Amino acid sequence: MSPNLAEGLGEDLVEAVRAGFLRFAQGYLHGADDDFAYTLKIDHTLKVLDVATAICQGEGLTADMALAPRLAALLHDVGRFPQYREYRTFRDRDSVNHAKLSVRHLLREKLLEGVPAHMRRLVLGAVYLHNARLLPATLPPELLQAAKIVRDSDKLDIMRIMIEHFSLPHAAHPEVSLDAKHHPTNYTPEVLACVMAREVSDYRRIVWVNDFKLLIVGWLYDLNTATACRLLNDTGRMEAVLDLLPQDENILALREQIAADLAKRLKGDYLA
Ligand SMILES: [Fe+2]
């Protein structure tokens, strides 16, 4: 972690919230089959915090300004634990909106105790908005910044998880990819068209595992910060997801578009 973000009272708050989150999340582990789901989300959460910290640093935020995005990164998926315990799925459309559930449970568990009221509102807002398909057009600037950083951090780490998951010959846990159907070459043309049009796709359109990969590729168009684009490039995650798709001529055209658009974003250009 950067020294300037590790200094001061802010870091004590992050540590306290982190400890509270771990106590809450580890309470779901009980040595049974579903421990994998909770472990996956604990691991994801801690990595999203790391990515959020790196983005805050890359974007030049002060330790104070970084606090809301970092606390929201720690708490964004609190709802995944009760969601999986009750419904045995991570599919919101078959259960509940897990961001709403995160807000309800983090309040119930008092996971923001000791956090000043203004900061608490920012964290709750960013948690609530982390999985919205699009952010509302008007948001207070501090909330907008926190929400954007959490969304970027979450996406970058979901890419890591999906690359690991889709690289397994027989995924033991189809829940990880929201139970999308396996097929080596099938994908839904509308999902591809959406990415080619640089539009944000929708989880509800996913039928095949390749649709999920296409949706993830399309996240290039939903990254908010230059630092997230740089991390995406440095980690090679975009290439890795593209490699997992069938290499037909449509996908090759997509690869060309994505490579050109990522290069533009890295130069600081806005995309069309
Ligand atoms: Fe989430």
CA of 249 to the centre of ligand 1 (A): 33
d(CA 82, CA 242): 33
CA of 113 to the centre of ligand 1 (A): 22
In tens, the pLDDT along 211-224 reads: 999 999 999 999 99
HEC string of 72-134 equals: HHHHCCCCHHHHHHHHCCCCHHHCCCHHHHHHHHHHHCCCCCCCCHHHHHHHHHHHHHCCCCC
CA of 130 to the centre of ligand 1 (A): 7
CA of 98 to the centre of ligand 1 (A): 7
134's tokens: 């699009």
- Better-predicted residue by pLDDT, 167 or 191: 191
CA of 237 to the centre of ligand 1 (A): 19
Which of 102-111, 134-143, 177-186, 234-243 shows the lowest mean pLDDT across its residues?
Answer: 177-186
CA of 76 to the centre of ligand 1 (A): 6
Is pLDDT at 35 greater than 80 in this prediction? Answer: yes
CA of 150 to the centre of ligand 1 (A): 10
Q: Sketch the domain layout of the chain as residue ranges.
A: 3-152, 180-266
The pLDDT of residue 167 is 82
* Single-letter amino acid, residue 81: F
DSSP 14-59: HHHHHHHHHHHHHTT--SSTTHHHHHHHHHHHHHHHHHHHHHHHHT
d(CA 258, CA 241): 12
The pLDDT of residue 188 is 95
- State the pLDDT confidence band at 4, using cuts at 50, 70 and 90: very low
Average pLDDT of the chain is: 91
Is pLDDT at 5 greater than 50 in this prediction? Answer: no
The pLDDT of residue 171 is 61
Question: What is the rounded average pLDDT of the residues 93-120?
Answer: 96
CA of 207 to the centre of ligand 1 (A): 20
CA of 95 to the centre of ligand 1 (A): 14
Q: Measure the N-to-C terminal CA separation of the chain; round to a whole number of Å.
A: 34
In tens, the pLDDT along 141-181 reads: 999 999 999 999 999 999 999 998 888 766 667 777 767 88
In tens, the pLDDT along 237-256 reads: 999 999 999 999 999 999 99
Which residues keep their CB under 5 angstroms from ion ligand 1? Answer: 77, 131
18's tokens: 């982190």
DSSP 168-220: SSS-S-GGGGTTPBP-SS---HHHHHHHHTT----GGG--BHHHHHHHHHGGG
Instruction: Determine the longest span between alpha carbons in the chain, in angstroms.
Output: 55
Total-model pTM:
0.91
CA of 197 to the centre of ligand 1 (A): 25
CA of 5 to the centre of ligand 1 (A): 24
CA of 250 to the centre of ligand 1 (A): 30
The second-level CATH assignment, the architecture, of 3-152 is Orthogonal Bundle (1.10)
